[in-house]
Homo-oligomer: A and B are copies of this chain.
Amino acid sequence: MQCSDPVEQVLLKPGMTVGELVSALGRAGAYNGGALARAADIYEGMLRDRQAVRFLGLAGAMVPAGMGRIVSDLIDGGHVDVLVSTGANLTHDIIESLGCRHYHGTAVCSDVALRDEEINRIYDVFLPNDAFIKFEEFMQEVFSELPPSAPLTIAGLLAVIGSKLDSGILASATRGNIPVYCPAIADSMIGLQFWLFSQTNRVTVDAFRDMQALLSTCFDAKRAGALLIGGGVPKNFILQSMLMTPRGFDYAVQLTGDRPDLGGLSGATLDEARSWGKITGDARAVTVYGDATITFPLLVAAVLERLGR
């Protein structure tokens, strides 16, 4: 153990850039502020590494919170090679792409009254039911154009959806030819819409077939890195994808509000992932505990500032 690198007290300057703040947090270096600064170093290294396949995992309700644009801008900027998302984030992305909006609300209210007013609540964000009517029209139209014979992959279905949208995560991914994986797609409004459609139609979407393309990407990767927003299916699906290959992830950054002591994967440390071989023994990896509506924009703004230099 050594005591060689002193904590520098943070000096704030009015008008300082986000990158300057994150660098100051790095010189302080403690707790989650320090972890965030290390995350910026790792994410910068991962984005600069031309030989690394860059995964982005997107859990939580990030799009309703206004974090979707950061994801689509990362895709447009060429910083994402593979996206793995929950169905919910994609549902809300489609809703925003169709011109519907989420609204500033409050977490302290009567949910029964909200129900009467046909407003759905996501913590302190409100979403009127109207949005789901537009969503239904859109989804039913998309489903109706699908070929009834050969089974689709989930990523294939999402690419079709993305091709019909002008903006947002799915639109950017389709435009950039970036695969979007969503293993639990049935667990979302997309799933419910599919059920509606299947009352009178038949289309088959294969639950497993995306593994082929994904594993192929993993086998071909010289190096691999992952930015994990939240845990859940995206985190596990990304980390397990390298399990079958001879190597693991070389870079990993996790932004999560979960905790390790509950035993769940969402809060599991990235060190734990080393025991499984999902992450290499000498991978650069860090977890930042906190709300991703703070840590995700901080991290990305700081790294984009560095890349812009």
Contact = CB atoms under 8 A, between A and B. Distances in A.
The SS class assigned to the A binding surface is mixed
A28 B64 CA distance: 9
Given A3-B128, A107-B260, A244-B195, A17 B16 contact: yes
A120 B209 CA distance: 27
A21 B19 CA distance: 11
Interface string A275-309: 11100010000000111111101101100110110
A101 B102 CA distance: 45
Contact of A259 (B9, B61, B289, B301): B289
B1 A114 contact: yes
Interface string A19-32: 10100110111111
Interface residues of A, number: 137
Contact of A151 (B28, B122, B151): B151
Interface string A64-96: 111111100100000000000000100000001
B308 A15 contact: yes
Interface stretch (A44-52, A181-189, A220-228): A181-189
A113 to B, nearest CB: 6
A126 B2 CA distance: 9
Interface string A230-245: 1011001100100110
A208 B233 contact: no
Given A16-B301, A151-B204, A205-B206, A60 B262 contact: yes
B233 A211 contact: no
A161 B230 CA distance: 31
A123 to B, nearest CB: 4
A14 B304 CA distance: 5
Nearest to A277: B115
Contacts of A188: 236, 240
Nearest to A256: B262
Contact of A187 (B18, B103, B183): B183
B96 A9 contact: yes
A14 B237 CA distance: 31
A113 B127 CA distance: 28
